Copies of this chain bind each other. A is one copy, B any other.
């Protein structure tokens, strides 16, 4: 059955539809749903999957790292060698370009900005001494990135996203002309929330940027490096450190990654990759900040996953858990919204999110309606700097936590809310 687009309906048709949808919504409210699709949070079965990691270190001899160092003791600032190898594998870089940190990558990114504020970047003026510091923020993007820059009073400039990545014409022009632009936030693979992987051309254009500020850095948050959903449809991301080096910009990028969404969300291992010059500068502060991160947990990860083959095998099981949830969302969206002209959405090959674009001016109302009936979504606007979506259109759907059945139910409610809010919007015009 061909669906009629809402925009083609007469006022009477819309009013009749509104009545019908309102009844459905009241019924849905009565179901007492309580579902959370707000954050990219692993589900219980995913956590069970990796439980054995807690049992790999038991005896005295287990505790010694490959450099002979006792992981239980103080020391080893930048991570045990085998953890560098493992994390380098995930990012596709060389172990000597890696520092291994604590349980998550967010604090590394925060600390990187914080250090730039107080100590500058490889000899540059501390950003807190400058009148103005700006960051480019491809959006829709990751709310926690934007929260860091906002927290430090850094002015954020929104950069539109396409299926190839950020609008590189705009990025190139801005960084070349404005010395106060010190960085750009990127989630280059299965981006949060679009699920877009930057094209080779985009990565090469990033690597070839000619920023006016010599302390400009690309913040390359490779959070979903190994988070494919399908065996036969995998996005490939060009490795940026090598590209930057080739382009004569070896120091222009910091890459971040973690095992938070591989092993344990609360107790993973995180890492940063960058040029030696960058790492040397980072270590100058690091050696004051800490004697060393939790090396036992680093070793635990290496002993459990062993190598990239181990990570890949684990992530296949991860994909088997995630795929049905994503498929449940896609199925409902397709069957309920195709042809209605009231929303578009992404069909990513990996990552943690589906990104939905409602009609302009509808996102906040849809999120509020969902909440009214017990389904919590990421706050509308969260995917934009300052929490302000100029079109009030983008909604991030995070299918990782609920079961596939719950996801289907939650998406049923979601499409109902999209329809109802869209009808109301059209009637008000």
Contacts and interface: CB of A to CB of B under 8 A. Distances in A.
Interface stretch (A2-10, A53-61, A169-177, A188-196): A53-61
Interface in A15-63: 39, 41-42, 44, 47-48, 51, 54-55, 57-58, 60, 63
Interface string A69-81: 0111111100000
A107 B111 CA distance: 11
Contacts of A44: 70
Contacts of A233: none
A421 B100 CA distance: 44
Given A102-B103, A290-B107, A293-B103, A72 B266 contact: yes
Contacts of A72: 47, 264-267
Interface of A: 39, 41-42, 44, 47-48, 51, 54-55, 57-58, 60, 63, 70-76, 102-104, 106-107, 110-111, 114, 117-119, 126, 128-129, 144, 147-148, 151-152, 260, 264-267, 285, 288-297
Contacts of A55: 58
Contact of A297 (B48, B144, B297): B297
A119 B42 CA distance: 33
A54 B51 contact: no
A267 to B, nearest CB: 4
Given A72-B267, A260-B74, A103 B289 contact: no
A51 B47 CA distance: 24
Contacts of A70: 44, 47
Q: How many copies does the complex hold?
A: 2
Which of A75, A148, A265, A285 has the most chain B CB within a 10 Å cutoff?
A265
Contacts of A74: 39, 41-42, 260, 265-266
Contacts of A119: 151
A58 B265 CA distance: 17
A294 B103 contact: yes
Contact of A294 (B51, B102, B285): B102
A206 to B, nearest CB: 26
Given A102-B102, A106-B289, A110-B288, A294 B267 contact: yes
A42 B267 contact: no
A107 to B, nearest CB: 5
Contacts of A102: 102-103, 293-294
A110 B41 CA distance: 30
A51 B296 CA distance: 11
A267 B297 contact: yes
Contacts of A110: 288-290
29 contacts: A42-B74, A44-B70, A47-B63, A47-B73, A54-B57, A72-B264, A72-B266, A72-B267, A73-B266, A74-B266, A75-B266, A76-B266, A102-B293, A106-B289, A107-B289, A110-B289, A111-B289, A117-B117, A117-B118, A117-B128, A118-B128, A118-B152, A128-B128, A148-B288, A151-B285, A151-B288, A264-B296, A267-B295, A267-B296
